[in-house]
Amino acid sequence: MNGKLHSETGAFSSDGMRAEILNPFVHKLELDNTYDKIKTAIFTVILLPFRVIVICYLIVTAWFLACIGLYGLSEEDLRKKPMTGWRSKLRFSILSLMRLVVVAAGFHRVRVLGKDRAPASAREAPVLVMAPHSSFFDAIAIVCLGAPSVVAKADTARLPFIGQLINYTQPVYVWRDDPNSRQNTIKEIIERATSKENWPQVLIFPEGTCTNRSCLITFKPGGFYPGVPVQPVTIRYPNARDTVTWTWEGPGALKLLWLTLTQVHSSCEIEFLPVYYPSEEEKRDPKLYARNVRDVMARALGVPVLDYTYDDCRLIARAKQLGVPAAAAARDLAALRHQLGLEGSMLELQLAEQGLQGKARWLTREEFAQRLGIPNDTYCHRLFDMFVQRSSGLVYFPDYLLCACFLSTQHEPLTKLLSYAFKLYDTSGNGRLKMSNFEELATRCLGLCQEDAQNTFRQADLDEKGYLTYDEFITFAQERSEFAFIFVSDSSHKPKAQ
């Protein structure tokens, strides 16, 4: 049986029309029958230990050789010029060991397609563009491509053993927390791509984050700034069960590794597309260049394109962390609100500010459209369906407004969202939340479970009044280090706990 990919929401393509595809950041994998469970259990006992031992031996050996090859070289040396002499020759030995790792992991069928369009040389195409990026197993492609220099997160260098192996490719590291990182990365790619020295090709995953391969999301333009020819390379995993996809919502890395290593064999396909030579207009406009290359790759893969970005991933992750309703669909919700004109109207913030006293909290589709002042059309139906309770066919309006407030205040301190939440979940109308109301709030915008929410309420309600106001909770939270995240970038409220 196939592993199951599922999402209740779709997404928007660049032309504003809904693409009937899965949420690209969601992957659900299930062992959905007894046969699969028994088979996995048996191979966990008889196959997994053997593979782990062999893989560890090969990686440690490759790491040891990499340490020898990197001895005496600083990070600056690795950036300054390509390796030569014995260090360059040692690269072949390390690469051979890593190819054995791929085989030991069960990828006996790594097919390289497009050999009639042989992989271009570094002179012909200094940059390789690979997509879709969906897994840490995409490192297989790096091995099969001869270990080109990768563009990777700087944190990758700190990974045990693997970090040194990546360093040996002389990567271009991206420091996402450094405001100048983008410019420095672009500058380094340009220098390598236009250098006359024998640098390896630069390999970029322009999507910048992992998806479930249901589409190609926005390509970052960094690798296209040099304006040099690029060779698009696609990667597929045509397996009966998808045990490799690693997204923002889905199985963790260890579970995927376990399930992949307990498969008898896994398949991977890498296809080289013709070298893409940019026009003069594309050279002047890297974003246009990136979009056009993405279109070529999407056609080869037979998937749509969507204007999702890494920032969308961070938005979704933040919403999930806080417990915001419909967090996984936050990007889709933002697109729908934009289509309906709600994003710029501020109506939702006004409704939240006024509170819902004396107004219905559970709404039908018609009431939902009327309350928001929007036409009861297709876009409204999709918005409604994101929050509808299947059992009743109704939407709990405070949850919708909270999610809308989260999107509208995402760049403001969390105290702003909390101020709206206290009004949304206040059923008394006097600014006081009982324990049940506070539970609703705390599980939806503080990331607390029900038990922790109840304990927090009891601790904050020192006088045992049976209710909490916004100011009382803020005063309490300022004394607690576990709530320090509420006050990040908030100049009006500072946590007192150290």
pLDDT tens digits, one per residue of 75-118: 777 778 888 888 888 988 999 999 999 999 999 878 888 755 56
Question: Taking 60 as the threshold, does the pLDDT of residue 17 lie above it?
Answer: no
Q: State the total domains in the chain.
A: 2
Asked if residue 351 and residue 273 are part of one domain, the reply reads: no
Asked if residue 129 and residue 40 are part of one domain, the reply reads: yes
Tell whether 447 is covered by a domain: yes
Domain end among 255, 281, 308: 308
Question: Taking 50 as the threshold, does the pLDDT of residue 10 lie above it?
Answer: no
Q: What is the DSSP string of 394-419?
A: EEEHHHHHHHHHHHHTTTS-HHHHHH
Asked if residue 380 and residue 366 are part of one domain, the reply reads: yes
Asked if residue 235 and residue 271 are part of one domain, the reply reads: yes
Asked if residue 382 and residue 433 are part of one domain, the reply reads: yes
Tell whether 496 is covered by a domain: no
Tell whether 60 is covered by a domain: yes
Asked if residue 127 and residue 46 are part of one domain, the reply reads: yes
Domain end among 268, 287, 308: 308
Query: Which amino acid, residue 130?
Result: M
Tell whether 493 is covered by a domain: no
Tell whether 498 is covered by a domain: no
- For residue 88, the domain's CATH number is 3.40.1130
Give the integer Cα–Cα distance in Å for 181 and 194.
20
User: Can you give the C-alpha Rg of the chain in angstroms?
Assistant: 26
The per-residue pLDDT for range 60-71, each reduced to its tens digit, is 999 999 999 988
Asked if residue 295 and residue 339 are part of one domain, the reply reads: no
Asked if residue 180 and residue 129 are part of one domain, the reply reads: yes
Tell whether 1 is covered by a domain: no
Query: What pLDDT score does 19 carry?
Result: 38
Question: Taking 90 as the threshold, does the pLDDT of residue 166 lie above it?
Answer: no
Give the integer Cα–Cα distance in Å for 306 and 313.
13
Tell whether 100 is covered by a domain: yes
Percent of the chain, pLDDT > 90?
Answer: 50
What b-and-e string marks burial along 311-321, b requiring 16 or more CB atoms within 10 Å of the CB? ebbebbebbee
Question: Taking 70 as the threshold, does the pLDDT of residue 494 lie above it?
Answer: no
Give the integer Cα–Cα distance in Å for 44 and 259.
9
Going 419 to 421 to 426 to 427, the CA torsion angle's sign is: positive
**Structure confidence at residue 493 as a pLDDT band (50, 70, 90):** low
DSSP β-ladder status, 362-363 and 202-204 = unpaired
Give the integer Cα–Cα distance in Å for 253 and 265.
19
Scanning 270-396, the segments in alpha helix (DSSP H) are: 280-284, 286-301, 310-322, 330-339, 342-345, 347-354, 365-372, 378-387
Asked if residue 335 and residue 265 are part of one domain, the reply reads: no
Question: Taking 80 as the threshold, does the pLDDT of residue 52 lie above it?
Answer: yes
Query: Which amino acid, residue 15?
Result: D
Asked if residue 93 and residue 41 are part of one domain, the reply reads: yes
Asked if residue 333 and residue 241 are part of one domain, the reply reads: no
CB atoms within 10 A of CB 156: 15
Domain end among 308, 327, 346: 308
Tell whether 497 is covered by a domain: no
Asked if residue 364 and residue 247 are part of one domain, the reply reads: no
| Residue span of the structural domain in which 378 resides | 312-487
